[in-house]
Amino acid sequence: MLPDTERVKAATTELRKNYYPKPESLLWLIEIYITHSEQGVRQQAAVESQRLVSKHWKSIPADQKPQIRHKLLEKTLNEEVKLVRHSGARIIAAIASEDIENGEWAELPELLAQAAGSPQVSHREVGVFILFTLLETASSYFAEKIPELFSILSKTIKDPESTDVRINTMICLGAVATIIDPDEDTEPLKLWVQIFPEMVAVLKGFVDAKEEDRTVQAFERITMASMQIATELEEDDDEDDDSSPARNALGLLSLLAESLPPRQVIVPLLDAFPKFSSSADPKYRQAGILALGMCVEGAPDFVGTQLDSFLPIVFKLLEDPEMKVRHAALNGVARLADDLAEDLQKTHEHLVPALLTNLDAAMHHAAGGNNDKQTLDIMKASCAALDSLTDGMDGDILKNYLQALLQRLTQLLDHPELDVKASAASALGSIAGSSEEEFLPYFKDTIEKLAPYANVKDSNEELDLRATVCDSIGSMAAAVGPKVFEPYVRDIMATSEEALHLDHPRLKETSYILWSTLAKIYEEEFTPYLDGVVNALAASLSQQEDNFEVELGQHAQDLLGRYMPYFEKTIEAVMPLVEHSYEGVRKTAISTLWRAYACLFSMMEDQTNTKWTPGLPLNVQPSAELVKLGEIVTTATLSLWEDEYDRGIVTDINRNVASTLKLCGPAILAQPSFLEKTKDIIFTIISRQHPCQQDLGDFDSPGEEDAESSEYDWLVIDTALELISNLALALGPQFAEIFAEYEKPLKKFASSNINFERSTAIGIIAECAGHMGSGITPFTKSLMPVLLKRLSDTDAETKSNAAYGTGVLIFHSQDSATYLPSYNTILQKLEPLLQTNHARSIDNACGCVARMIMAHSDAVPLDDILPVMVGLLPLKEDYEENEPIFECITGLYSQSNQTILQLTPKLIPVFAAVLGEPEGQLGVETREKVIGIVKFIASSHPELLDGYDGLKALC
């Protein structure tokens, strides 16, 4: 029988109004906790008791307290139910925090030490748990007793019988870390360092035993302990000094964020971030933002979903009165912008002025003759943040800040410190590259200030500056174009060739990147430089330096792509490096081969004026040269791909094969056994069975429950899933047989508890359905329930992908008997997406509706749904969905559908938007159809085009 809610409310009100205000209520509740036979009653009494301790304990007669303490501790030590036991421990901790403050219950620490060393497991578990709760509520009491704590905890962390004791010890140690002050006494820090390996051993034990909840708890403790240690960062700590405990702690956070799922590291860090950032102690504010910055790279997708929750705090830290906190905040912004540039750029109206304010303050300080380290750090960090933020920024946004930015940064080129010059030069390159033609008025003055530093070479610091300047000059060349840059080409080529002989690895790499940029800009006009360029590249490859990791492959197409005489020489130089002992060289060598193949294929298509079509056997036969190169590339790839232990190399191969399939279609799949091998390797990766995934844990079979992934771990799977999509693109309907093998793992990812796994899997299913066309029909019954479920997902990206996938499946599947009964359900689930503020969700929901109409307009209430869809146009983000939407609209016009005809006045501004800027919102054929509708409107209702001169011009 369910309890009467009103009676419960009334009873609760009665207790709180007439009983809990009395000190005796605490004694009654403790008595109930100690004596009652019902577990639920004991638990509730303990919870209520804890709440009343701070209010009533001081009013309890002193002669009664010893007996209460004794009975309370005795009961809690012997309580059999863990939840009740923990609640009892919290009563004890609450009382102890009151007593300790008043110098009472002095024997408790000794009693807890005895409990922690008791032969009874439950006593040890309670003793350590009470210690933890005391550390939470009365940590200052233990500041002078840290050695005694370590004496106890060094034993309990190795408890042979109880995982509870070990995990409670881990939690205790996390709390102990918060009261260690190395400035006062270095001994506690030494004790911490000594016990740390035991913490790792406990953690490893939980991982090996697959005790996920305990693993999460342990990692949370390590995360919090690392943040605490980071508060001890000294002002003179060098960022590259690995011996500093604070730097080590920050490095550990970075490693944990990269290696573990977000909820084990990022979530507790973000939970603690507001507390650290609002602390009165600047060391905590500094540690909070530094810790956040260190973790972004390891989980950018997850951190990106949390930006709204913490960016206001970051903005506040940029205005902090302490320079070291502002410096840390600037570094944090730079790291955030490195990985989340697009998201961060949306805050430009607040962020750019904040960065300029910091830069101005430092420059003003320096102008007064004060070039202390903190001032220089602020200048460099401001430049670095602007550099990262403006790299790739929309030119229409950047032009609003261009003059203010360039005025300050060019001024810094005159600063006496070389690293300040370098920071400014790097930011100038990013700004030029993003602003493009808007940079033209500033180009001449800027490059003339930069040019002298392109030739400096008297020290390593000068060579560092030279490398940065050459990088920036390359960006400026790309921004202003070949004609404007022409006067500087010869000098910069001479400078870059000299750089190869200055024994400076970064300068050498900069030369290669510069040549790639200039080759792209000048095309055939770059031919006079090719002999020198190719010889230099070949010489570098032949050196086989152990630390050689120049991204030659990234630039191979620009440098060598259109110049056939150099192809053979390039391949000969690269092939031996495929089996190089250094991972970076292997990765670059394979990338070079794949880019060379893609380039040769593009040249063949240009020469034959043909375009690949999906499926095998090939409809367009490749040239003999391309077949031969394909054999070389696939043989080299398979020699690594199946057994490579380095995850970065496998990820890169996945990307290269996927990109080549997208550009070149199925030609490479015609190589003997390559399709079969590729299919099998993909399966091992998405089943987490590949050798490069061995460190993720031992998985006995692909059907076993998958481990939760870190974003770094997920990357190799993510690229394999992308490869599945591009295989479908290259094979078309023929992919159905292969899709049957991947369907189960894809559906498994689609039901993951991790947002990015679900959204990615649903997106891949949708893309495969689109590429396979009618070949998706046999999978309609199994995929439709998956997509329907994800239309109600809690994650916006997953819902958006599900909307896209649902529409694509319906549009291409010939199994209408399966999907038609779900039409009303789908429309109901799409309704919230059509009302959201998430632009991509709206776009995909509209696309889904359009495809449903085109598949079966008779099953859609057009009078109700079309006005809603039209009211959401034009699309804001996903222009690809314009295709089905405007195919649908033009189709309805051709059918003289009355609803769409009545909506014509509302569609006029929509037509103007999609036919205007930016270009490319519609495909060529769809654009022509829309123009045809505009012409029809112009002839039948010309008055509707008044004020739309762009549309009139098309008529």
Dump pLDDT digits (tens) for 5-22. Answer: 455 446 656 677 778 888
**512 or 931, which is more confident:** 931
pLDDT at residue 812, as a whole number: 98
pLDDT at residue 563, as a whole number: 55
pLDDT at 348 over 60: yes
pLDDT at 686 over 80: yes
Cβ within 8 Å of residue 802, ≥6 positions away: 762, 766, 787, 788, 790, 791, 793
CA dist 69 and 100 (Å) reads: 13
CA dist 555 and 54 (Å) reads: 68
Written as one letter, the residue type at 211 is E
pLDDT at residue 556, as a whole number: 44
Q: Please state which of the ranges 132-141, 318-327, 928-937 shows the lowest mean pLDDT.
A: 132-141
Q: Name the band, by pLDDT with cuts 50, 70 and 90, for residue 866.
A: very high
Q: Which of 152-166, 363-377, 717-731 has the highest mean pLDDT?
A: 717-731
**542 or 745, which is more confident:** 745
pLDDT at residue 235, as a whole number: 67
**136 or 774, which is more confident:** 774
Selection from 325, 326, 332, 389 nearest residue 358 by Cα: 326
CA dist 302 and 285 (Å) reads: 22
pLDDT at 293 over 50: yes
Q: Name the band, by pLDDT with cuts 50, 70 and 90, for residue 196.
A: confident
CA dist 923 and 938 (Å) reads: 22
Cβ within 8 Å of residue 745, ≥6 positions away: 683, 686, 687, 702
The answer to whether the pTM exceeds 0.85 is: no
528-577 confidence digits (pLDDT tens): 887 777 777 767 666 644 333 344 434 444 454 445 666 777 787 778 88
pLDDT at 281 over 80: yes
pLDDT at residue 542, as a whole number: 62
DSSP letters of 857-914? GGGS-HHHHHHHHHHTPSPSS-GGGHHHHHHHHHHHHHTT-HHHHHTHHHHHHHHHHH
**Mean per-residue pLDDT, 92-99:** 86
Written as one letter, the residue type at 574 is V
Using alpha carbons, list the distances in angstroms from residue 559 to 542, 543, 545, 652.
Answer: 18, 20, 22, 21
pLDDT at residue 312, as a whole number: 96
Residue 51: how many CB atoms within 10 A of its CB? 15
Written as one letter, the residue type at 7 is R
**Mean per-residue pLDDT, 36-60:** 87
Q: Name the band, by pLDDT with cuts 50, 70 and 90, for residue 101.
A: confident
Using alpha carbons, list the distances in angstroms from residue 244 to 229, 249, 252, 788, 889.
Answer: 10, 9, 12, 53, 65
Element (H, E) at 763: helix 755-772
| Helix ranges restricted to H, 523-646 | 530-543, 552-560, 567-574, 583-608, 624-641
pLDDT at residue 705, as a whole number: 41
pLDDT at residue 871, as a whole number: 95
User: What is the 3 state secondary structure string of 439-488?
Assistant: HHHHHHHHHHHHHHHHCCCCCHHHHHHHHHHHHHHHHHHHHHCHHHHHHH
463-483 confidence digits (pLDDT tens): 999 999 999 999 999 999 999
Q: Which of 49-53, 425-429, 874-878 has the highest mean pLDDT?
A: 425-429
Which pairs count as long-range contacts for 602-608, CB under 8 Å and 24+ apart, including other chains?
602/561, 602/663, 602/664, 603/561, 603/562, 603/564
Q: Please state which of the ranges 253-267, 531-545, 692-706, 905-919 shows the lowest mean pLDDT.
A: 692-706
CA dist 645 and 690 (Å) reads: 8
Integer-rounded Cα Rg, in Å, for the chain is: 33
399-414 burial code (b ≥16 CB/10 A, e <16): bebbeebbebbbebbe
**Mean per-residue pLDDT, 863-867:** 96
Residue with tokens 């997902």: 793
Question: Could you give the 3-state DSSP secondary structure of residue 677?
Answer: helix
Q: Are 793 and 802 in contact (CB under 8 A)?
A: yes
Q: Name the band, by pLDDT with cuts 50, 70 and 90, for residue 736.
A: very high
Q: Are 450 and 432 in contact (CB under 8 A)?
A: no
Rounded percentage of the chain residues whose pLDDT exceeds 90: 54
Written as one letter, the residue type at 153 is L
Mean pLDDT of the chain: 87
Q: Are 674 and 691 in contact (CB under 8 A)?
A: no
Cβ within 8 Å of residue 755, ≥6 positions away: 302, 305, 795, 797, 798
Rounded percentage of the chain residues whose pLDDT exceeds 70: 90
Would you say how long the chain is, in residues?
Answer: 955
Task: Give phi and psi for 179, each to the nearest 5.
Answer: -110, 5
pLDDT at residue 645, as a whole number: 85
pLDDT at residue 883, as a whole number: 96
CA dist 724 and 110 (Å) reads: 63
pLDDT at residue 215, as a whole number: 66
CA dist 495 and 355 (Å) reads: 33
- Residue 931, burial from CB neighbour count under 10 angstroms (0-12, 13-18, 19+): middle
pLDDT at 381 over 60: yes
Written as one letter, the residue type at 730 is A
**885 or 207, which is more confident:** 885
Using alpha carbons, list the distances in angstroms from residue 726 to 593, 627, 684, 719.
Answer: 19, 20, 18, 10
pLDDT at residue 10, as a whole number: 61
**885 or 167, which is more confident:** 885
CA dist 429 and 461 (Å) reads: 19
**Mean per-residue pLDDT, 773-795:** 97
**575 or 685, which is more confident:** 685
CA dist 679 and 890 (Å) reads: 40
- Residue 898, burial from CB neighbour count under 10 angstroms (0-12, 13-18, 19+): exposed
Selection from 789, 820, 782 nearest residue 803 by Cα: 789
383-440 confidence digits (pLDDT tens): 999 999 999 999 989 999 999 999 999 999 999 999 999 999 999 999 999 999 999 9
787-821 confidence digits (pLDDT tens): 999 999 999 999 999 999 999 999 999 999 999 99
Q: Name the band, by pLDDT with cuts 50, 70 and 90, for residue 704.
A: very low
Written as one letter, the residue type at 687 is S
> Assign residue 60 a region: left if phi > 0, alpha if psi is -120 to 50, beta otherwise?
beta
Cβ within 8 Å of residue 29, ≥6 positions away: 45, 46, 48, 49, 52
Task: Give phi and psi for 94, each to the nearest 5.
Answer: -65, -45
Q: Please state which of the ranges 108-117, 674-683, 694-703, 736-745 shows the lowest mean pLDDT.
A: 694-703
Q: Please state which of the ranges 112-126, 648-662, 907-921 shows the lowest mean pLDDT.
A: 112-126
Q: Name the band, by pLDDT with cuts 50, 70 and 90, for residue 505.
A: confident
